[in-house]
Structure 1
Amino acid sequence: MQPTYILLVVNDPLASAAFYESILGTTPVEAQKTFALFHMNPTTMLGLWSKHTIEPPVTVAPGSAELCFALESAEAVDACHETWKAQDLPILQTPVEADFGYTFTAADPDGHRLRTFCPSQRG
């Protein structure tokens, strides 16, 4: 069994949909007051559900979820960092070499972490 759906609990799905449209470069499949949906790739969807209407109710702390985007090179990570910085995303961690590869972390409007990385070539 493979996960095919990522769900983030957000304050305002329409505002979050506009944010994710700008960083993903794609329009949502669905965008309503309480829920929005994106195709992340051919097999994975990203859902944005209002914290005011999600069932069963949940308590979500900012930064409690992290979306990760694997990129092909350190240069691509740096380019994404510059793009997101220019879009005024909060940068939580500037580009750095970590055990798993070259990475940086930003945040979405609800405080969910957005990590890009180029996997380490170490075996």
Structure 2
Amino acid sequence: MLNFDFVLLHVADPLASAGFYSGLLGKPVVESNPGFAMLPLSEQVMLGLWLADEVAPGAPGKPGASEISFNVADVPALEKCHSDCMEKGMPILVDPVEMPFGHTFVAADPDGHRIRVVARARA
């Protein structure tokens, strides 16, 4: 059985990306060097940030070609997160909007990776 425990993004500058995600998530960077950095997304899942030019085997995608998603408790929490992202100067790609899966917005990290925040629809 497979156990999901890692998300890896190809980035232009792992140290800068680690600083960005550490500030966004309030989590410490646990590994950091010019080619790779890592920090926890949750107790079970780590976020790896690999220098795109050193990915082995090489990948055809460019930094910014991925999307990661985070959920929040409710719409007020989503609106607070949206406001915090705007205050940090993050590019907002999609303002808060209701979608079939819940209320959501999309911001971008320094490489252009999409960061989706969702307040799940209640059944």
TM-score w.r.t. length of structure 2: 0.95
Runs of at least 4 residues off by over 3 Å: none
* 1:72-110 deviation per Cα after TM superposition (whole angstroms, max 9, x unaligned): 000000000000000000000000000000000000011
Instruction: Percent identity, please.
Output: 40
Please state whether the residue corresponding to 2:54 is helix, strand or coil. coil
Counterparts in 2 of 1:13 and 1:62: CA distance versus 1, 3 Å: closer
Deviation of 1:61 (Å): 3.6
Contact 2:12-2:63 within 8 A present in 1 as well: no
Query: 8 Å contact 2:52–2:62 — kept in the other structure?
Result: no
Asked if structure 1 preserves the Cα contact closer than 8 Å seen for 2:73 and 2:119, the reply is: yes
Of 58-67 and 29-38, the range deviating more from structure 2: 58-67
CA distance in structure 2 between the partners assigned to 1:9 and 1:62 by the alignment: 5
SS for the counterpart of 1:75 is helix
1:10 aligns with 2:11: yes
> Which residue identity does 1:101 align to in structure 2?
G
Q: Tell me, in whole angstroms, the C-alpha distance in 1 between the residues paired with 2:54 and 2:64.
A: 20
**Which ranges of structure 1 fall in alignment gaps of 5 or more residues?**
none
**Structure 1 letter corresponding to 2:17:** S
Q: Secondary structure of 1:105's match? A: strand
How far is 1:69 from its partner?
0.5
What are the equivalent positions in structure 2 for 1:62-77 lying under 5 Å apart? 63-77=64-78
C-alpha distance in 1 between matches for 2:69 and 2:17: 17
Q: Give the match for residue 116 of structure 1.
A: 117
Paired residue for 2:34?
33
Query: In structure 2, what is the equivalent of residue 49 of structure 1?
Result: 50
Q: Alignment partner of 1:22: what SS?
A: helix
